[in-house]
A and B are shown apart, each in its own frame.
Chain A
């Protein structure tokens, strides 16, 4: 948790100048920006540390905050910082490998799921035949929660990358599809008219006008999906993988290593946050036109 808030805090000042530039500096500003946000975390960390050291929770299994940080550092760099009571785990220095395994599954699953969703969403949003062909099936499958697919996915794909990729693709498909369809439907019909008047064929209109007009909505879908992708890959790894952040999470739990469990949670928070920023950054330039509206 601490590293996630640190990342958030370190990007804070990047946005801050724009906000302060328009407003005159006020007296309580420094207090509000540099002191108040840290009050609650510091109190929580202090209590956490105390409870951990005194072994007050979960029969003494709940670790102190510092123990979790040490576990994270050991996991990251293989520092072997553990003492006699908490021998260095088998994960020492393997963070990159597990993170890489999760990211690999997400990239493939997210890629397949969102590309398919954009293609089918365009088809369904832009043509009534496509809509009749695609929409009923998607609407029928959508209410089944992704976790409900887990047994079937494990049965079909076994243990490893494949079920995680399948589930991630499935989970990312729906938010991207729904947002693509609504983006296409709400795309300004007058822009489509203008394109036809300028001599564009139906296919050209779809790719050069409808798709970019729907892109703000599609990007919203992609952002939502990137969060869901992390959730899904963790669940998939808990139940059907031998690597990845989700696997470390459940395996250290099984070994009563709650310091590693919490280190894995911190890692997931950081990865989820960075993924969202990445998706935003990738599309920021292509959406420059829609920022100030298009009146």
Chain B
């Protein structure tokens, strides 16, 4: 039951070459319950990836505190698995070596036990038989499957996903979304999923937190009362369409703020 708590978070970055700072996140308060799937939705440049990097421990808050499972975040760790936008797997390692990386650097497993665990997770993400391939031999979707498997193999209670399917073609994206739903239905984890795609947020999330831009704030948090297990067909549900409309208008207002500078 590892939940995520963001409590009064501000993040400011130094402007390169100037002495002033830019406020990227402004007073972010958000709670994600244990085993809950929350999508963070917002226009590009609103700071949603920064929020995720903060929980991952890659970026420190300027003010406020992030906590996971009641413990403040001080740095990255294997209890919070991050799936990056561009897979970000190690290009010189084979698929199997990439997946084995976590348990092997932690010295938790080795030899046959590790091999078995790796092939189990390769199987679960649909990459059985691809263990000996190098990343550059794989398609974008397959690389993202490796990125997912190398995190799952650590069995983290929290999964942080940073637009992981954003760069994939439409068909592959749907396949990957359904794969993620299937994995999550079987093995519930606390998930924070960053996206700018309304359909994706509604299809995956228990709740959707909408962010405003510059500085990033949480604007609204919406419940998604669609039944589970969900699949692509959920998009035809009238409740889905209604929620989509609401989110569409929320987001369009934000895009307008970004372009006219009203949000500054």
Contacts and interface: CB of A to CB of B under 8 A. Distances in A.
B8 interface: no
Interface in B33-81: 56-58, 75-78, 80-81
A194 B135 CA distance: 15
Given A197-B77, A212-B92, A288 B134 contact: yes
Contacts of A197: 56-58, 76-78, 80-82, 151
A207 to B, nearest CB: 10
* Interface size class, chain A: 20 to 34
B258 to A, nearest CB: 25
Interface string A180-193: 00000000101101
B105 A292 contact: no
Interface of B is mostly: loop
Interface in B117-152: 134-136, 150-151
Q: B76, B82, B105, B135: which has the most chain A beta carbons within 10 Å? A: B105
Contacts of A83: none
A204 B102 CA distance: 11
B232 interface: no
Interface string A258-292: 00000000000000000000000000001011101
Interface in A182-239: 188, 190-191, 193-201, 204, 208-209, 212-213, 215
A190 B88 contact: yes
A199 B136 contact: no
A288 to B, nearest CB: 7
Contacts of A295: 136
Given A212-B92, A294-B91, A289 B136 contact: yes
Contacts of A204: 105
Interface residues of B, number: 27
Contacts of A201: 105
B212 interface: no
B154 interface: yes
Contacts of A294: 91, 135-136
Nearest to A207: B105
A191 B82 contact: no
A143 interface: no
B106 A199 contact: yes
B102 A199 contact: yes
Contacts of B13: none
A209 B76 contact: no
B91 A195 contact: no
Interface string A152-175: 000000000000000000000000
A211 to B, nearest CB: 10
B106 A194 contact: no
A195 B105 contact: yes
B203 interface: no
Given A197-B78, A198-B154, A199-B106, 6 more contacts: A193-B56, A196-B75, A199-B78, A208-B105, A215-B92, A289-B134
Interface of A: 188, 190-191, 193-201, 204, 208-209, 212-213, 215, 286, 288-290, 292-295
Interface of B: 56-58, 75-78, 80-82, 84, 86, 88-92, 101-102, 105-106, 134-136, 150-151, 154
11 contacts: A194-B82, A196-B76, A197-B77, A199-B154, A208-B101, A288-B134, A289-B92, A289-B134, A289-B136, A292-B136, A294-B91
7 tightest A-B CB contacts, nearest first: A199-B78, A294-B91, A198-B102, A200-B105, A196-B76, A289-B92, A199-B106
